[in-house]
Structure 1
Amino acid sequence: MTAPADQAREVREEDAFDIARVDAFLKQHIEGLQGAPTVRQFPGGASNLTYLLSYPQRDLVLRRPPRGAKAKSAHDMLREARVMTALKASYPYVPAILARCDDDRVIGQDFYVMERLRGTILRRDLPAGLGLDRDGVRTLCLGFIDRLIELHHVDAAQPGLSEFGRGEGYIARQVAGWSERWRQSATEGSDPCEDIIAWLQSQQPRHDNASCVIHNDFRFDNVVLAADHPLDIVGVLDWELATVGDPLMDLGSSLAYWVQADDDPIFQSFRRQPTHEAGMLTRHQVVAYYGERTGMDVSRWRFYEIFGLFRLMVIIQQIYRRYALGQTTNPQFAGFGDAARYMGSRCRRLMAGLD
């Protein structure tokens, strides 16, 4: 599932679960499993937890919420599995779901198990072994955007997918919902951000652009590149936030993570994917390419850009709140409060037309 730099590691003590109970459950639901699995944890991801279960016959991947997570809608593993199952036939990059568990007696939380996709997942920098020159990086970048466009072209009205949408008004619901999540995630010293919320409320389009399947977390570190041909994307991971909604909201959420070569040093320090490499499109170029390929009007892009950053700010603050409350001791979350405050300042610069 991952490149050598992202190999699964020993399970953190706070994230451990009863392996024997999971093994017994899986053997009742997946044919051919024998022996006891070894369990390791993937280090990537700051929300839900992902583990590698290695049996003598095959490798499996288990996904579960973080310990202490209470908001079902924010960490709904069974919903994520349903989305993936419904989408698999129309979008072949989705890993196959092999088992789902809603029995709290197994590990105390819902979880699901899926197939393991072997390949490379890009993190902060391009692995030297990929051997991509500037043209190769550009091809990789365009392929990444094309996979998002393909997702947006899936028929969202087909049985199994339509149930995940609530119809017209997606943009308004998102602005209201993420605004409330921000208020609920406040910690001592956090930025109230009421000016950003007011701007989003006043600037939001009156109508959605379309109603399609959207991923809501489409990043390079959520796609799997073919091991023998890194320009081919063979899998798309992390469907927790997928739904039916406005495609430009999806693109805005994706580009919130898109740190390019000329960004300021603080934003550069946030970079989690190699979008700064020579050959990568800038955020402006990505939007223009998307508009050309889809025929969608992107002239009011500023709203989607700022909403994407605000949404990311909320996600960062929610994780920091769990850290501040002692629900996780993962040291990588210690600076997330400062990161959320920076994202607020970035939103304000865009609101003022300074970037």
Structure 2
Amino acid sequence: MTDAAPSRQEQFSGTKEVADTHKFDEKRLEEYMAAHVEGFKGPLTVSQFKGGQSNPTYQLKTPSKKYVLRRKPPGKLLPSAHAVDREYKVITALHSIGYPAPRTYCLCEDDSVIGTMFYIMDMVEGRVLWEPLLPGMEPATRWKIYETLNDTLARLHMVDYEKIGLGDFGKPGNYFARQISRWSKQYVASVTESIPEMDRLMEWLPENVPQDDSTSVVHGDYRLDNTILHPTEPKVIAVLDWELSTLGHPLGDFTYSLMQWVMPGQGTGGGTGSIQTADLKALGIPTLEQYIQMYCERTNRPGIENLDFYFSYNFFRLAGILQGIAGRVRDGTASSEHAKQMAQNVRPLAQEAWTYAQRAGAK
């Protein structure tokens, strides 16, 4: 009998020693923090979080406080990827209005400090849960956690972004067309094998975007494990990993958060996990329909049409993102030991995207 594979919770929780490829001069960082981080007092101990596929993320520990550092990875990078300056901007703006985003301290654009651009924020103490089925919890607690996830995303989509200085954080309008173009380019730039479904999707998706040009701040990768829950209560106290955030279409963002309901099992999720075959009622987890209804009530929408298009788009987008990771594995710049395994999911995600495109009328 073989040992069971480690759970996502075991694989991604906590910290490890800094990987050789991501080491930097810690003394230099400590000097920088003494000059730029209000209230900082060393000495400093640095470790690396196990999660954080794309931008290496570090825990900075002092005798009295913990901070988090997010940086661009070293090495050859795709244009516009790893925009930690954009993450810093959106987190800072949202924190200022009481949205659950960590307090930020500084953005360093001087590569000479640790080798790449980085920013520093508070370490928010709480629970990061990596398993969407929330093992070991009571059904009522699971329901409340899904409620708070839904509410936190709905609140983001209702923020007046102009008012908090994010009017220039993206281009309002044509969000899906721009995203499809972006991920098509990333796919083509990183391609490692021919996938016919991706070629068909790159042609079909731009021609079939629903006519609805709502605009909000979008997170871009909103899911359970990109939030920190209160240590004991079912409440989101911080939303993390804003690398893909921009001004965009709230339904692109929301339907991405629905992916775990439709994602085939066996790890093809590219990070979203899967609850597709679970007995949701027994577990106390909302069904897809219930979760959509919660969101629509919170954002004053009558409902969501064109779900098949949105699912096709989100599977395609995930395939594009993972192909980017595959390209970084090829180029030796991927920041996670799980990156290679994720890169193998591009083809099944593309096939799933094409299935939903066919349901939406693609021939």
TM-score w.r.t. the length of structure 2 is 0.87
Tell me if the contact between 1:69 and 1:75 (Cα under 8 Å) persists in the aligned partners.
no
Tell me if the contact between 2:222 and 2:257 (Cα under 8 Å) persists in the aligned partners.
yes
Quote the Cα distance in structure 2 between the aligned partners of 1:223 and 1:279: 20
What does residue 266 of structure 2 align with? 266
Counterpart residue identity of residue 311, structure 1: R
Task: State the secondary structure of the residue aligned to 1:94.
Answer: coil
Tell me if the contact between 1:14 and 1:328 (Cα under 8 Å) persists in the aligned partners.
no
Tell me if the contact between 1:30 and 1:98 (Cα under 8 Å) persists in the aligned partners.
yes
What does residue 26 of structure 2 align with? 19
Quote the Cα distance in structure 1 between the aligned partners of 2:166 and 2:228: 23
Q: Which runs of 5+ in 1 are unaligned?
A: none
Quote the Cα distance in structure 1 between the aligned partners of 2:310 and 2:264: 21
Q: How does 1:1-355 map to 2 (within 5 A)?
A: 6-124=13-131, 132-191=137-196, 193-208=198-213, 210-229=214-233, 231-256=234-259, 258-259=260-261, 264-267=264-267, 273=273, 275=275, 278-296=283-301, 297-328=303-334, 330-353=336-359
Quote the Cα distance in structure 1 between the aligned partners of 2:134 and 2:258: 22
Task: State the secondary structure of the residue aligned to 2:32.
Answer: helix
Counterpart residue identity of residue 59, structure 1: K
CA RMSD of aligned residues (A): 2.4
Tell me if the contact between 2:268 and 2:345 (Cα under 8 Å) persists in the aligned partners.
no
TM-score w.r.t. the length of structure 1 is 0.89
Quote the Cα distance in structure 2 between the aligned partners of 1:333 and 1:214: 25
Task: State the secondary structure of the residue aligned to 1:335.
Answer: helix
Tell me if the contact between 1:255 and 1:308 (Cα under 8 Å) persists in the aligned partners.
no
Q: Which runs of 5+ in 2 are unaligned?
A: 1-8
Quote the Cα distance in structure 2 between the aligned partners of 1:160 and 1:141: 30
Tell me if the contact between 1:87 and 1:161 (Cα under 8 Å) persists in the aligned partners.
no
Percentage identity across aligned positions?
32
| Cα deviation digits, residues 151-182 of structure 1 (max 9, x gap) | 11110221511111312222222222222222
C-alpha spacing 1:214/1:22, structure 2 compared with 1 (3 Å): same
1:329 CA displacement: 7.5
| Cα deviation digits, residues 76-128 of structure 1 (max 9, x gap) | 11121111112222242010111211111111210000001000001136676
1:192 CA displacement: 6.4
Tell me if the contact between 1:216 and 1:254 (Cα under 8 Å) persists in the aligned partners.
no
C-alpha spacing 1:192/1:21, structure 2 compared with 1 (3 Å): farther
What does residue 4 of structure 2 align with? none
Task: State the secondary structure of the residue aligned to 1:266.
Answer: coil
Quote the Cα distance in structure 2 between the aligned partners of 1:245 and 1:268: 26
Quote the Cα distance in structure 2 between the aligned partners of 1:88 and 1:281: 29
Quote the Cα distance in structure 2 between the aligned partners of 1:125 and 1:289: 18
